[in-house]
Structure 1
Amino acid sequence: MIAWRAGAAYPPAGPFVPVAGGRLATLQAGPERNARGTVVLIHGASANAADPMEGVGRLLAARGFRVIAFDRPGHGWSDRLGAATPAAQADRIAEALGSLDPGPVIVLGHSWGGAAALALALDHPERVSGLVLVAPVALPFPQRVALPWYWRLAAQPPVAWLLSRTLGPPLALYYLRGASAQAFRPQPPSEGYLERARVPLAVRPGALLSNVEDLIGLPAALERQSPRYGSLSVPVLIVSGDADPLVRIEAQAEPLAKRIPGARLLRLPGLGHMVPWVAGDRLAEAVADFLPEAASTR
């Protein structure tokens, strides 16, 4: 019933793009012709395409960009497609971009989506003209520190399947507002965030299970992916709040900027994790300023 109500309240709101084995859902905004450029948005954990689209995407569209936000595989209305790692999800997004044919794009990845954006640039460089990584999770971290024991237990296939279809949805729904407030710290949540970002879609069984798999598998995926960051040849802008309690700037953004040749770090004093919402105008301005640098790589 929880899943049905969430799906009925937030039905698909953009076109689907066929890929091998299924389809990816998108939200799209801005002009398709004579656009200043195309920006692809990749959301973080426990979210869907509406999160970055409503935070910063529509501000970019108002500035003349074509904006394409993807529901990552298994989230929102996208099929799971067996894609749990950043690299596997980047492969599906690259395939979808091949169908949409927007040319090389600026990829903006937030949080977990930063890892997927990096994988897209590493494995499909012909699709990417530049990266904007917002509060990115990109460097390895100790799994024992990042994820408590009950997450690891929940990730075991039989337990995860059972929890996602019994206790998981009502518990997730109960804690939804509090969890959103934690994500915004130290700022208060943006008005109407839960509805505008279509957050209740994340409490459905499939999305809950996908989210757990994504989080549990991320440390090992970053161990494999991060040694390649030095080979990136596209312009990279990293944007992070220095008061982010979830993805600390000194643990991720700062060392990441040193690993990627020519990467620039934009530090936002006093801001937390939800930069696309609490500083959407500043982020859209940074993307617009970044455009000439990205365009020169095409």
Structure 2
Amino acid sequence: MISITIAVVLGGLALATRAGIAIVEKRYPQQGQAIPVAGATINLVDIGPRNASGPPLLLLHGASSNLEAMRRPLGDLLAQRHRVLLVDRPGHGWSPRARPEDSTPAAQARMLDEVLARLGVGQVVLVVHSWSGALGLRMALDFPDRIAGLVMLAPVAYPWRGGVGRYNEAVTTPVVGPLLAHTITLPLGLALMAPGARGVFAPQVMPDDFVDRTATPLLLRPREFMANARDLVTLKQAVIEQAPRYGEIKVPVTIVAGGADRTVYTDIHSRPLARVVPQSRLIVLPDLGHMVQSAVPELVAGEVDRIVAAVTLADAVAP
């Protein structure tokens, strides 16, 4: 009798999840163009003037989000004077990926290089946040001719103590993970999403419309939630493997981080990274939290302009 009751409850939650997915996807439809690559289809939004001087900008969002988290306000601000490419990372937003193993910065770097090649884009300046700090570094290591410069916002770069949360670990477990993702993740996530986002913003105050404006509920779809969890669970080993190579990065790198960031600790990631990357500039704001692109977009845009100008000048005087 108990097993029948459990089956009925789980069946009801699964049906409610399917209905919820349809509502969420109708509320936040795909924007941009779909670009097929090996192992995924990448959703890309291309804004700003095509004839802007300097290389285009490629903006990469962190975990538990999609391209909209980088578009407003930062991407729209930068697009006033630069060509800006925004993508949903493989497995996120409207970029489905086929293989679970493509959760690593190395795999996603390869996919994004393929996207740029398909677009006919040469060098780019990367603007990366949080999880994508590791991705931006990997792109600079594996595809050095593709990357002209890096602007890194509260980046993950090194291993840290502890894990990434028991729920993320559970969701990556065979059988149990899909069961959780297809039953309780969406209703539970809708209840916890806003409080969780406020914690990531702290000590800054999260804008009231942030969750809706950035299409964050898309994360609660089962395939995206499982992809996000796997990204997080495999990240520590990925940075352990790539961190010894950071001294090889020769392009200019600017790091903007917060002394009050309790999501990605500046002393663990940004400060050590600035010490080993040859052309690095570190800006630490004492009262800044994790959402750098939302809290200080004008400062970030100024740093992007500085790197673009330096890269453009270097190209102009090169023999």
Q: TM-score, normalised by structure 2?
A: 0.89
Deviations 1:67-114 (A, max 9, x none): 001101110000214210011011101100001122200001100011
Deviations 1:41-83 (A, max 9, x none): 1100100011111131110001x10000110111000021421
In the other structure, the counterpart of 2:59 is: 41
CA contact (8 A) 2:155 2:270 kept: yes
The answer to which of 110-119 and 186-195 deviates more is 186-195
In the other structure, the counterpart of 1:92 is: 111
| 2:297 corresponds to which of 268, 280, 291 | 280
Distance 1:147 1:18, change over 3 A: closer
Distance 1:160 1:296, change over 3 A: farther
In the other structure, the counterpart of 1:106 is: 125
Give, in angstroms, the shift of residue 150 of structure 1: 4.0
CA RMSD of aligned residues (A): 1.4
Give, in angstroms, the shift of residue 154 of structure 1: 2.9
Structure 2: which 5+ residue stretches go unaligned?
Answer: 1-18
Structure 2 distance, partners of 1:65, 1:88, is 27
Distance 1:93 1:24, change over 3 A: same
The amino acid of 1:217's aligned partner reads T
In the other structure, the counterpart of 2:4 is: none
Give yes or no for the alignment of 1:26 onto 2:44: yes
In the other structure, the counterpart of 1:177 is: 194
Q: TM-score, normalised by structure 1?
A: 0.95
In the other structure, the counterpart of 1:256 is: 273
In the other structure, the counterpart of 2:75 is: 57
Give yes or no for the alignment of 1:5 onto 2:28: no
Structure 1: which 5+ residue stretches go unaligned?
Answer: none
Distance 1:267 1:34, change over 3 A: same
Give me the identity figure in percent: 38
Give, in angstroms, the shift of residue 259 of structure 1: 1.4
Distance 1:17 1:230, change over 3 A: same
SS at the partner of 1:72? coil
The answer to which of 79-88 and 145-154 deviates more is 145-154
Larger radius of gyration: 2
In the other structure, the counterpart of 2:7 is: none
Structure 1 distance, partners of 2:197, 2:165, is 19
CA contact (8 A) 2:54 2:311 kept: no
Structure 2 distance, partners of 1:270, 1:141, is 22
